[in-house]
Amino acid sequence: MTIKIRAIREEETPAWLESLSSSFLEPFDTVKVAEEVRPLWDYSRVWGALEGETIVGTFRSWATELTLPGGERLPGSAVAGVSVRPTHHRRGILTEMVAAEHRAARERGEAVAVLYASEYAIYGRFGYGPSSPCATWTLDASGTRFHPESTGSIEFAKPSTESRDAIRDIFEAWRLGQAGELRRRDFTWDLDLGLRESVWGPTWKGYLYLHRDASGQLDGYVRYRPEEKWTQRQPRNILNVDELHALNDDAYSALWQFLANVDTVATIKAERRRPAERLPWLLTNARAAEPSDMGDGLWVALLDPAQALAARAYEREGLLVLEAIQGAGGGSGREVRHRIALEAGPAGATCKVTDRAPDLTLDLAALGAAYLGGVRLRDAVAARGVDEHRPGALVEADSLFAAADPPWCSTFF
C-alpha cells in the first residue's frame, strides 16, 4: 500500500504517539499525553507517514533560534519525535518525512535545522553533522579545594513564577553570547522547575540557587537533584546538576564552590556540559574533576547554506568557492549541489550562489558539523570524502571555520 506523508490532524495525536511509542520502546498513556501536548504543538510541524489510516512514521519540529559564532542568531527548526514503526523499515519513509519537513522549513525562512540523534548513523545522509560536542563532568568534592575565593552571594530560591522568570532572564542573557545555544520554549521553564506536571515523565523535584554579584545583581543559577548514597555508614551523597549557567567567571566559580561545599555530598555530576570546562583550573587538584561520556551533542543541517554561512562571524580572512553536496533526503527528492562563494573576515561575511569553479567539493553534513566552529572541517570530511580542486583549499577552509570559543548547547529536547 502507498505511504502518504502529511501533517496530522489534532485528533490523530494519540495514534501518532502510539506509533512513536512502539518505535522507541517506551509505553505510555497516549491519550493523556495527547491531551497535554495538543495546546503546545504547532500541528503544521507534526508529520505522519500513513499507510491507509494507520500512522507508521512520526516526525515533528518546533521553531527555535540558534546562536552563531559572533553572536548573531539564526531562525531554525528543532527536530524531534522521529520514528518509523519496526514493521515498516527500509521503505524510504524517513527520507520522505525529512524531505517534507525540510521543504516546509525553507518556506518558513528557517536556514538551519537541529536535532539530537538517538542513533549516530542515521542523519548524516540528510545533511546533518554533529556540530556541538558535549560531555559529563564528575567532581570529587572531597578530593580538592578551590583556588579563588569568589565574591557575591548565593541564595536559595523556591520554585515559583518569580524565580522562573529570574533564571530565564539569566539564561537569555547568557545564550545570546553562546554559540550553539538555542532559544527555549516558554513552557519548558515551568517543567524545569516542577511548576508544571507532565504525564510524559516525572515532575522535577530538586533545588534552585541563585548567585548575585557584589552589587546585588543576579548573574548565575544552578538547579540540581540529590541522590542518596552511603558507604560504610558514611554519607557519600551525589548532586546531579541539571543546569548551571553564569554570566561571568566569578559566578561560575562561586556556584561550583557552593555545590562542592554542600554537607554530606561526595560527588557532583553534571551531564550535557561542554567538553572543555574551566572547572579543573579552579581546583587545587585538577584531577578531581573528570570529563566522561564525551561525544556528539547537537547536530546541525544547513537548509540554506548561503544564508547560514553569511550570518556567522569569522576570525580570519578567507575567500572560497564551496560545492556542498546534499543527498536526495534533503528535501528536493534528488541530489543537489550547492555552489556558493564565501568571502569572510572579522569585518563580516558575504555568501552567494555562484557558477564559478569550486575550490572544494564536500558533503553538506561535513559543512554542518564544522559550521559552529567546534569541529575541525578536515576531520568532518573524513566520513564521506572531499575533492580539493585547488591545492590548499581544505587547509584554508579548516582554518576559516574554526572558532576560538567552542560551541555548546545545554538545551536538550
Give one DSSP letter per residue of 335-372, joined into a string: -EEEEEEEEEETTEEEEEE--SPPSEEEEHHHHHHHTT
Q: Give residue 326's pLDDT.
A: 87
Q: Is pLDDT above 70 for 331?
A: no
Contact 365, 115 (CB under 8 A): no
Mean pLDDT of 89-97: 94
Nearest one of 374, 135, 116 to 275, comparing CA atoms: 135
- Asked if residues 204 and 194 have their Cβ atoms less than 8 Å apart, the reply is yes
Q: Could you give all domains of the chain from N- to C-terminal order, each with its CATH number?
A: 3-110 (3.40.630.30), 145-284 (3.40.630.30), 304-401 (3.30.1050.10)
CA dihedral 373, 377, 379, 383 (to 10 degrees): 120
- Residues designated catalytic: 123, 413
Residues 343-363 pLDDT 10s: 999 999 999 999 999 999 999
Confidence of residue 336 (pLDDT cuts 50, 70, 90): confident
Q: Give the lowest-confidence range in 159-163, 252-256, 332-336.
A: 332-336
pLDDT of residue 192: 97
Per-residue model confidence (pLDDT) at position 396: 98
What pLDDT sits at residue 333?
59
- pLDDT in the model for residue 332: 56
The whole-number pLDDT of residue 134 equals 97
Amino acid at 188: T
**CB within 8 A of 354, min separation 6: which ones?**
321, 339, 340, 341
Q: What is the pLDDT of residue 69?
A: 97
Q: Is the pLDDT of residue 149 over 90?
A: no
Q: What is the pLDDT of residue 330?
A: 57
- Average model confidence (pLDDT) across the chain: 95
Q: Is 80 exceeded by the pLDDT of residue 334?
A: no
pLDDT tens profile 114-134: 999 999 999 999 999 999 999
Residue 210 pLDDT level (bands cut at 50, 70, 90): very high
Instruction: Give pLDDT, residue 328.
Output: 58
